[in-house]
């Protein structure tokens, strides 16, 4: 019997992916030249599909990199001369901050408890870029969209970057109120890992051009200018991860066919089932107290020490793989992915198995 993966990424493949991979083999997608007509067509269709699925404005650019981590580095290089501001509520927002420091920037951080209240960020006058993590894969905390939009409304001249690595395409983001959005494909898109996507506003692009013209190090191949030059021809700078680009095109089409509203609604329904279950079930505690700050795509619960052997047994018996806590919480928490690959039935199976035990 096949396993079901509730790990927060890499995770369960979206149901259509294995068949798309077989088609890719059959149609020689992995042997075709990345400088030819067929690849250009795939990239053009992928750009169109992403624009339609996520409602990306026409004047925003879509660039492909190799991971969410690379997206952070590319974002800092291309949008920050000196000063970035970070809201840190977990390991991935912290990584964004560290990357800015590693690149020699003056990176200011507002560090909050994952489980704390989120107050409006107080920016210093010289801040050039606000860096937020919409969905903290490490803690299961999610920033309310209104919080993000208010930040932009209150700081219209400061660029705003949002890490949506583990919430896109669940999150229905108004791109007009943000400047940089990035995600990777092994989370909610249900694809094999090895591809990141960055969406860039005209203001962010202008900033990158300004930095390049003034001899700041915006990177070589993956400067926004270099990425744009290739993207405009429906090309990539380097030989890319062709398989993942092909698969991303195919699943965005599948999502469009199925209906993005339906998929988003199902995600919320599954999150409700999970949060309701853990609220009632002894032996578990939902980690994030404030309902407004709870992730819809990564549900994190504390587990009482004496229950781990039972949980491992349940996983083994039922071919389930549930994510463990991040870093120091490895043996303290479960992280349960609730992505598009997971059906309501999958989630109901999971809760039914966890329910039968007396913790």
Per CB under 8 A, 179 contacts a second copy = no
Query: How far apart are CB 154 and a second copy at their closest, in Å?
Result: 29
Residue 33: count other Cβ atoms within 10 Å of its Cβ.
Answer: 10
Nearer to a second copy, 39 or 278 (CB): 39
Per CB under 8 A, 343 contacts a second copy = no
- Judged by DSSP in three states, 53 sits in helix
Instruction: Give the closest residue to 301 by CA, choosing from 327, 315, 281, 316.
Output: 281
Residue 202: count other Cβ atoms within 10 Å of its Cβ.
Answer: 12
Q: Distance between alpha carbon 111 and the CA centroid of its chain, in Å?
A: 21
Q: Judged by CB under 8 A, how many residues of this single chain contact a second copy?
A: 55
Nearer to a second copy, 21 or 148 (CB): 21
Nearer to a second copy, 22 or 312 (CB): 22
Instruction: Classify the phi-psi angles of 175: left when phi > 0, otherwise alpha if psi is within -120 to 50, otherwise beta.
Output: alpha
Residues 194-233 that bind a second copy (CB under 8 A): 194-195, 215, 217, 219-221, 223
Taking the CA atoms of residue 346, residue 347, residue 349 and residue 350 in that order, the dihedral angle to the nearest 10 degrees is: 120
- The sign one gets for the Cα dihedral 52, 54, 60, 61 is negative
Which of 23, 45, 69, 203 binds a second copy (CB under 8 A)? It is 69
Nearer to a second copy, 30 or 344 (CB): 30
Nearer to a second copy, 18 or 202 (CB): 18
Per CB under 8 A, 5 contacts a second copy = yes
Strand partners, 298: 337
* Alpha-carbon span 331 to 329, nearest angstrom: 6
Instruction: Give the closest residue to 323 by CA, choosing from 357, 290, 295.
Output: 295
* Alpha-carbon span 196 to 128, nearest angstrom: 23
Which of 15, 102, 117, 119 binds a second copy (CB under 8 A)? It is 102
Nearer to a second copy, 169 or 240 (CB): 240
Which of 53, 56, 91, 103 binds a second copy (CB under 8 A)? It is 103
Q: Distance between alpha carbon 70 and the CA centroid of its chain, in Å?
A: 13
Nearer to a second copy, 152 or 297 (CB): 297
Per CB under 8 A, 140 contacts a second copy = no
* Alpha-carbon span 50 to 266, nearest angstrom: 20
Query: How far apart are CB 5 and a second copy at their closest, in Å?
Result: 4
* Alpha-carbon span 353 to 186, nearest angstrom: 26
Per CB under 8 A, 235 contacts a second copy = no
Instruction: Give the closest residue to 86 by CA, choosing from 12, 162, 168, 155.
Output: 162
Which of 128, 163, 244, 249 binds a second copy (CB under 8 A)? It is 244
* Alpha-carbon span 169 to 334, nearest angstrom: 23
Nearer to a second copy, 103 or 123 (CB): 103
Question: One symbol per residue from 289 to 328: x for binding a second copy (CB under 8 A), - otherwise; what is it?
Answer: --------------------------------x-x-----
Query: How far apart are CB 57 and a second copy at their closest, in Å?
Result: 28
Instruction: Give the closest residue to 151 by CA, choosing from 143, 142, 160, 141.
Output: 160
CA end-to-end span of the chain:
27
Which of 52, 70, 346, 348 binds a second copy (CB under 8 A)? It is 70
Which residues of the shown chain bind a second copy in the complex (CB under 8 A)?
2-3, 5, 7, 9-13, 18, 21-22, 25, 28, 30-34, 65-70, 72-73, 76, 98-99, 102-104, 184, 186, 192-195, 215, 217, 219-221, 223, 237-244, 321, 323
């Amino acid at each position: 019997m096949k396993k079901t993966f509730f790990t927060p990424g890499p995770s369960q493949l979206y149901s259509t992916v294995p068949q798309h991979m077989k088609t890719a083999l059959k149609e020689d997608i992995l042997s075709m030249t990345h400088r030819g007509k067929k690849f250009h067509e795939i990239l053009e269709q992928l750009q169109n599909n992403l624009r339609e699925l996520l409602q990306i404005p026409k004047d925003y650019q879509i660039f492909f990199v190799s991971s969410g981590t690379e997206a952070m580095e590319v974002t800092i290089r291309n949008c920050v001369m000196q000063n970035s501001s970070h809201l840190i509520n977990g390991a991935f927002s912290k990584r964004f901050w560290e990357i800015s420091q590693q690149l020699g920037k003056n990176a200011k951080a507002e560090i909050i408890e994952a489980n704390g209240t989120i107050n409006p960020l107080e920016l210093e006058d010289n801040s050039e870029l606000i860096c937020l993590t919409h969905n903290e894969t490490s803690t299961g905390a999610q920033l309310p969209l209104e919080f993000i939009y208010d930040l932009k409304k209150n700081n219209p001249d400061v660029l705003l970057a949002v890490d949506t690595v583990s919430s896109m395409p669940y999150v229905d983001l108004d791109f007009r109120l943000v400047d940089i959005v990035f995600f990777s494909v092994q989370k909610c898109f249900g694809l094999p890992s090895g591809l990141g996507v960055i969406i860039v506003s005209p203001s962010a692009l202008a900033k990158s051009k300004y930095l390049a013209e003034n001899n700041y190090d915006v990177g070589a191949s993956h400067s926004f200018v270099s990425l744009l030059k290739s993207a405009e021809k429906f090309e990539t700078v380097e030989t890319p991860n062709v398989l993942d680009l092909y698969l991303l095109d195919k699943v965005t089409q599948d999502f469009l066919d199925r209906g993005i509203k339906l998929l988003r609604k199902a995600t919320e329904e599954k999150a409700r089932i999970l949060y309701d279950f853990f609220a009632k079930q002894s032996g578990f505690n939902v980690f994030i107290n404030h309902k407004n700050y709870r992730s819809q795509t990564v549900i994190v619960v504390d587990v009482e020490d004496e229950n781990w052997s039972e949980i491992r047994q349940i996983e083994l018996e039922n071919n389930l793989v549930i994510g463990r806590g991040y870093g120091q919480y490895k043996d303290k928490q479960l992280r349960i992915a609730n992505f598009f690959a997971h059906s309501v039935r999958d989630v109901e199976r999971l809760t039914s198995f966890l329910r039968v035990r007396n913790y």
